[in-house]
Structure 1
Amino acid sequence: NLAPIYPFSRPHPLSLYLLTIMTLSTFLHLSSRFPSAWQRLPSPNTTKGSPATSPTTTPPTERGMWTVNSIGRLGNQMGEYATLYALAKMNGRQAYILPEMHRQLAPLFRITLPVVSSDVVRSVRWRNYGLHDWMSEEYRHIKGKYVRLTGYPCSWTFYHHLRQEILQEFSFHDHVKEEANQYLAGLRGQRRNVTYVGVHVRRGDYVRVMPQIWKGVVADKAYLEKAMGYFRDKYKEPVFVVTSNGMEWCRENINASQGDVYFSGDGKESSPGRDFALLAHCNHTIMTIGTFGIWVGYLVGGETVYLANYTLPDSPFLRLFKPEAAFLPEWIGINADLSPLRGGT
């Protein structure tokens, strides 16, 4: 009788053991030579041609971690953000913003700098580095991997060489643009060649602080008439869109009898974000004083008229603020009337 024939004979235990050892050895050898797929794939938070949006894409241990204080209102926050962006890049460091700055700027703008968590802020031993308002040569060589910039930087001299990048950082979300443009379109009326001029009148605490502390003045009725007259003479159908934190004063002191002046929000004070978006979607700018108006003019990119020489020559304000570093050279300055200060009124 023939024994039954089986397709495979039962392997010996020793053979299984040797086969396992050989397979494992081969796998380890190949792994050491070729990285696995997940090691070679780019981070899901990084796309080609776009900046990193997650701290994991740029480990702090390699490039350090720089941030900036988040103080002041919208214009100050924008100045702090742009200065951090420029100085960190200049010094080869990775910039992160504080959560409170993200809360102020992210609802309006498509900012890209990653946010550092509150826990990390508290745990890092920061080197505080104070800035004055304008760019200085020593800021190109700031030492330290974990630096927190402090101060109220508000000058184009920090970041103007990166103008297009800064404009991109402060590009508006679509719904913000749509709301602003819809409002402006409603002011066109029957005009065929309309030119929108945003007017920002800074009042509030400046009305008291400028004369009492800084030996300066805020914009008056005569300045606004001159500034608006410049655009009326140059453009056929200007439309002036007025925003302010003192709208009652504006309605009483800005002549709207020609039918080309509109007070935003039906003459009631609106939110800073809404006012800023509205002004930034105009063609040109009339500002008075303050970083809010400076940033409007910078983003609009058209002609900007500003209040010039609004302090006495011995003002302590001039030790903190350089007009030539705040206002772009091509902007148009109209000198303030300082007679109320000289006359003691």
Structure 2
Amino acid sequence: MRRRPKFLETLPPAPQALPICTQEITPPDLSPWLADHCGIPGVMHHEAPRPGPHVVLTALIHGNEFAGAIVLDRLLREQVRPACGRLSLVFANLAAFARFTPDNPVASRFVEEDMNRVWNRQSLSSPRRSTELDRARAILPVIDTADILMDLHSMLWPGAPLILAGATESGRRLSTMIGDPPLVVSDHGHQAGPRLIDYARFADPDSPYAACLLEAGAHWAADTVETTDSAVRALLRHCGLLPAVPESPVAASRHLVVTDIVTAQTPSFRFVRPFLGGEIIRRQGTLLAQDGPDEIRTPYPDCMLVMPNLRPGRGQTAVRLAQTSYPRP
């Protein structure tokens, strides 16, 4: 995958202009939900008289990804209640969300550190403090009682909506049974630290609990809100918390497995062109990027690019490479 360039080999073409991120949506007014409703500000619980699973929906793990927060706000204003079990709605990184400004929309991803890289017991139980760690500890009692969790996210760079299932079979089953969006990717997370769906409660292969991460589309696109809404309601119907409704048949889920995680080793990492997430590169050995002296090439044919980060910093994930997972017998 990484190769030293051959002597006098043709240089890659100059990178094309990066996509422009348009802002079609505005941050929701979350003020009705910030009071201490259940012991944790920004967390709502609704419990049905009939038993059932505890389903947790989390939004704003990244403060500038507020499409999911719009959907949770919509559910609360519609007074959606579970038909069975318990439904918890969590607005996670409120401090980062409060810093959002349209003039610099990427700056409010977090305050001090990425909240989606702190989910292990060692970090959560350590004496270390940060805005994100403190908030993760505050909502941990909800996470520790979840039977099923969907973490709502969006993408800075254009790409097909997908569900990240993590590394477990339970996550894959949950993601494919939701069926919306139909693209499901199993992966092992990031070198920089574990995501919420990688938390031990969900990542233990013997655990009865399951989690998935929705990447619903571009951060501030109107379609991303509707994709999120559709996926959330599909999950709640699948879990029995909302009644089933007759629907048109949907396409069968397509499952891919990440085989390689490309991490930028230099600040000069550049793709040869602005690839789209979900794009499939047909030829093995196709040049994707230059990382200092190293070339990044596709390791096999029909290689899917999962959420390429067109401007990664050193040590950040630049792209994940995935191939089709063939159906189990």
TM-score between the two structures when normalised by the length of structure 1:
0.23
Q: Which has the higher contact order (CA 8 A, sep 6+)?
A: 2
Larger radius of gyration: 1
Determine which structure has the larger strand proportion and give its number: 2
TM-score between the two structures when normalised by the length of structure 2:
0.24
